[in-house]
Structure 1
Amino acid sequence: MISEDTVRFAAVGDLHCTKSSAGSLRPLFSQAEKAADALLLAGDLTDYGLPEEAHVLVEELAAVRVPIVAVLGNHDFESGQQDKVCEILTNAGVRVLDGEACEVHGVGIAGVKGFAGGFGRRALGPWGERIMKQFVEEALQEALKLESALAKLRTPHRIALMHYSPIEATVQGEPLEIFPFLGCSRLEDPLLRYPVDVVFHGHAHRGHPEGKTVNQIPVYNVARPLMQRTYPEQPAFRLFEMQRESVNV
């Protein structure tokens, strides 16, 4: 039951649902529904981006009665059928965000997949070969989509939901060589102009569960493999409680 002054969000990413996942995700979703007033899915919902996998995921989510908001991840693009995956999820009642915003229980949510590119001074710049410039342009476009979504929100409390990380802290623990492919500081820039209460992302399975932006916004890596390994005694999602006057975890 929703409290008059508290809303609880359960956030998890990197479900990597396959054609043979039937029955394996249902217990997690059941626990999330009992604990929270809404479920947030931070990308890599499927393993190969296949419609068949999306149908299995929809069946796993069928018993969830709270609102579900999601973004896609890189795995959901693998087979070039991301539009079909999105359609299947949308038809099942999942709100899939791609540069859009929505409101759940009075809380605004801006969602985007995000992209890679690296962090801070080591972030890739738009210089050199055309394909390198295109790579950076993709990151810039994702950041602009996030900024556009955030700018639309007028709610007192706001959440940013993405797949790639906007900060380096939550990918710590991954091999240093792949840091540039786990997220991008360009995704942090919109969060400085349009601050939110919390950011959720996935993607970095061996990363760190939490960090902060430069303006002290809490950022949580909710990749399911990381949640399972870091908090083995708890369900593999991050529960975030948002109150009218303050925010507590």
Structure 2
Amino acid sequence: MAIPKSSSHVRFAAVGDIHVHKDSAGTLRGFFAQAADEADVLLLCGDLTDYGTAAEARVLVDELGAVSIPVVAVLGNHDFESGTPEAVTEALVKAGVRVLDGTACEIEGVGIAGVKGFAGGFGRGSLGAWGEPAIKLFVQEALNEAMKLESALAKLRTRQRIALLHYSPIAATVDGEPVEIFPFLGSSRLEEPLLRYAVDAVFHGHAHRGTLEGRTVNGIPVYNVAKPLLQRTRPDSPPFFLFELPREAADTPSQS
């Protein structure tokens, strides 16, 4: 049963890691329709396609045809696999999806800053830019994504803000994955802009076997909304995460 929409709150449905492939046609329309029934905005946290092909993007856009609410997305690493992420972006933009990449938008009075992010590890385990040129390039990519996030957050003038990522900015929400692959699931460098520009919530995907919720060092809630994780940990609920913000920004956010 759909949850009635609220006149006092803006409700977001967030999910990542949908991994649409050529055989996904006809399998996601009901899922997206339910999300649209229960939320005011749909947030997509990357890995929207499996191999990042134009054909997969067309299937995704067709499945999103059931959605009448605003859709905001970032790409994930799978959307880059074929070397043509612009094809995925183009298909989504033509369908009216706001695709963020170091950019921001405002919907229902809430500012949303988005970036894919990158890997590199967390805290003392973060990879440093030292040694071979390839290592320095890897670390520079993580720094570039963090700078893009900071630039997007700096553009927002709304009182309420959300950060939309694919890679995680904290270790807590990748906990559950093999510890050996933690460095490839996100980067603490993505947390640094969130300490300078406070947001109400952060959403990401990528870590299918991670943990639903964690917090930044300054207490911002971070949600891992990878669809496989939601399906496994909340089997009696549809695999999207609902998050509410009051329209007047006067109360504490709530989540379900």
Indicate whether the TM-score tops 0.5. yes
Find the residue that maps to 1:62 and give its secondary structure. Answer: helix
Runs of 4 or more consecutive aligned structure 1 residues displaced over 6 Å after TM superposition = none
Find the residue that maps to 1:140 and give its secondary structure. Answer: helix
CA distance in 2, matches of 1:72, 1:116: 14
CA distance in 1, matches of 2:153, 2:5: 25
2:186 to 180, 183, 186: 183
Q: Percent identity?
A: 69
Letter in 2 for 1:137: Q
Find the residue that maps to 1:188 and give its secondary structure. Answer: helix
Give the corresponding residue for 1:6.
9
Deviation string, structure 1 residues 40-71 (Cα, Å, up to 9, x no partner)? 00000000000000000000000100000000
Find the residue that maps to 1:102 and give its secondary structure. Answer: strand
Give the corresponding residue for 2:71.
68
Root-mean-square deviation over aligned CA pairs: 0.9
CA distance in 2, matches of 1:81, 1:213: 33
**Equivalent residues in 2 for 1:145-164, closer than 5 Å:** 145-164=148-167
Letter in 1 for 2:192: D
2:5 touches 2:38 (CA, 8 Å); kept in 1? no
**Equivalent residues in 2 for 1:1-249, closer than 5 Å:** 3-243=6-246, 244-246=249-251, 247-249=253-255
Find the residue that maps to 1:41 and give its secondary structure. Answer: strand
Find the residue that maps to 2:22 and give its secondary structure. Answer: coil
CA distance in 1, matches of 2:129, 2:145: 15
Pairwise CA distance, 1:240: 0.1
Aligned length: 249
Pairwise CA distance, 1:5: 2.8
CA distance in 1, matches of 2:6, 2:23: 37
Pairwise CA distance, 1:2: 6.0
Letter in 1 for 2:227: R
Task: Give the structure-1-normalised TM-score.
Answer: 0.99
CA distance in 2, matches of 1:192, 1:24: 39
CA distance in 2, matches of 1:186, 1:162: 13
